[in-house]
Amino acid sequence: RHIPFNPATGFKKLRKVQQEMSFLDQDEAASFLAHVNGKYPPGSKDRWVYVVYLVALNTALRAGEIWGLRPSDINEPTRTITIKRQFNRVSLDFGPTKSKKHRVVPCNLTLLSELKALIAANKISLQETIFQNENGRPVCHDNFADRKFAKDLKSWGGRQIRFHDLRHTATTLLIASGVDIKT
């Protein structure tokens, strides 16, 4: 019962409507983080959700890069994180970053402390991903965006944005605070 030809042959592709880039300002980002810090307090089993937002808003990592983070990527003495891989939500495997190059991003003391606490509390080995589901696999971004992020935005009551917009927020805030654009 296979069709011997592509019925769409001869038709032009529809143009994909790009969502406008959006980002939170500094007060909105702080308000959102305060909200989720209260919702997922230190010591709670879901504290990792708050840490995901903290990573996103302090490093400007892509979602797949966040899900691919391992404790071995964190350099405590230099307070940096080396981005070496991303988790591909389609193939459910790790691959290179979008640029296919490793890069190093700054990691402030608050983020470093939260990451260390999460790693210690969950006994995560150096080569495991920091953010895991119950089966020890990296978190599925689609599930996270639908089940956690959308609900957290709604309960916060602020402006509705996409998860990717946290990357734009982080970049904007880092540049505004004097971090050079290449970093």
Q: What is the mean pLDDT of residues 130-154?
A: 94
Question: What is the percent of the chain with per-residue pLDDT over 70, rounded to a whole number?
Answer: 99
Cα–Cα distance, 74 to 23 (Å, whole number): 26
The 10s digit of each residue's pLDDT in 31-73 is 999 999 999 999 999 999 999 999 999 999 999 999 999 999 9
Q: What would you report as the CA-atom Rg of the chain, rounded to the nearest whole angstrom?
A: 18
Question: For 112, how many CA atoms within 13 A lie in the half-sphere containing its CB?
Answer: 13
Is pLDDT at 18 greater than 90 in this prediction?
no
Q: What is the mean pLDDT of residues 106-110?
A: 96
Structure tokens at 90: 């389609």
Cα–Cα distance, 65 to 83 (Å, whole number): 7
